[in-house]
Amino acid sequence: MKLIKFYIVFVLCVFLFTTTAHADIDSSEEIDFNEIKQEIIETSSNVTDIPNINSRAAIVIDRNSKAILYGKSETEQRKMASTTKIMTAIVVLENANLPDIVTISKKAANTGGSVLGIKTGDKISVCDLLYGLLLVSGNDTAVALAEHVGGSVEGFADMMNKKAAELGLTNTHYVTPHGLDDDNHYTTAYELAILTDYALNNKTFYNYVATKSYTININGYPKTLRNTNELLGNLDGVYGVKTGFTNGANRCLVTSCKRGNLDIICIVLGADSKKFRTQDSIKLIEYCFSNYEVINLKQIINDYLNNWKAQNLDKISVFKGVSNNIDVHLKDFNYEYYPVDKKYKNNTYINIDCNYVFEAPLQANTVIGTMEINIGENNVLKFDILNTINIDKKNTLNYFSELLANFFKYLSLTT
């Protein structure tokens, strides 16, 4: 009898370690992706109409230019649930080694919500803990990683907040590595998009969130994980990023999607159900790819600027300067492509407002004017125009040399 009981326990243990993990808190809410997509097609009267969505806050940004293609309460502070784990993963990736082996603490093992299912004393690599964090949204893995990297949950939260400050996320604050509800744990849709863009530039993070399924090892036993992101593998161009749900945050979804030259991040926060967050995300993604087209803005601007320089640089004078040899460039123009509403793609207007008289000394990188780019009726971009050459003020020797040159020139003309 004891032998039979032992055998049953053994079989159950093997089953637990080899079965697929489903760890999102809201994983019990099953959805039919194809049905949702068909509903959107049938109920959408015009794909050019701005979508009506259920989510309390949302944003779509272009990764290349950081232009906002859609926004709804995008600067409103909100709870973020497990989308927190985007920051958790980045802090871990920038401060830990993937092969390191972590021994799971009692605190980590007892963390509730969505879990990987690790136990006190289990041994698992940082690499595999990150799969548990990003694929099945394990809160237990978040705590284990926080303790390993930051010494404690509190210490790790400090590291998260320092990283947020480094990225200029002034409306974001972290208390935990997993995102369970806390009034002092919040972000905005906009800042979450900026963080996600930064994270996706990390190749390792990119590969994690683009993974549909993966088999990890806990104490040497295999366990297959499947990504909770319902859009990954189901919607054209989607390559990440992260799901989330708590009672306070409701359903959240961060999605990255690339088709052609248009690469976007779509975020929905505070949807009433998993179905709504899926619907909202699809609506916004399809709206942007249907209505926006990428233009080579760098070529358009460079052509205009070169033409302007040919016609205007010789008109600029530097009073008391050793020369008038000015050249210019644009400040902070460091991308090539820009998404524009198809309605306005042929209505691009550029205007340059520049001073023509300066007094020496004129330092390099001094702002001497501005360029404004308007697409349609909207002013979308403004760049400072900078002088590229140092022009010193004339000294006594310069004036004497100039006087002699003028004198000999006069003599040559009178003889």
Active site residues: 82, 85, 137
At a CB cut-off of 8 Å and minimum separation 6, what does 166 contact?
none
Are 196 and 264 in contact, with CB atoms under 8 Å apart? no
Q: Using CA atoms, how far apart are residues 43 and 5, in angstroms rounded to an integer?
A: 56
Angle, CA 135 vertex, CA 132 and CA 140 arms, to 5°: 35
CB 177 within 8 A of CB 125: no
C-alpha atoms less than 13 angstroms from C-alpha of 368 in its C-beta half-sphere: 26
- Residue 98: C-alpha distances to residues 29, 147, 205, 285 (Å): 33, 15, 12, 33
Backbone φ and ψ for 299, nearest 5 degrees, come out as -65, -45
> Which helix (H) or strand (E) is 192 found in, with range?
helix 189-200
Q: Which element (helix H / strand E) includes 310?
A: helix 297-312
Please report, for residues 54, 146, 226, 308, the alpha-carbon distance to residue 130 in angstroms, rounded to integers and kept in the order given: 31, 11, 13, 52
From the number of C-beta atoms within 10 Å of its C-beta (0-12, 13-18, 19+), residue 126 rates as buried
Quote the CA–CA distance of 134 and 125 in Å, as a whole number.
14
305 CA to centre of own chain = 30
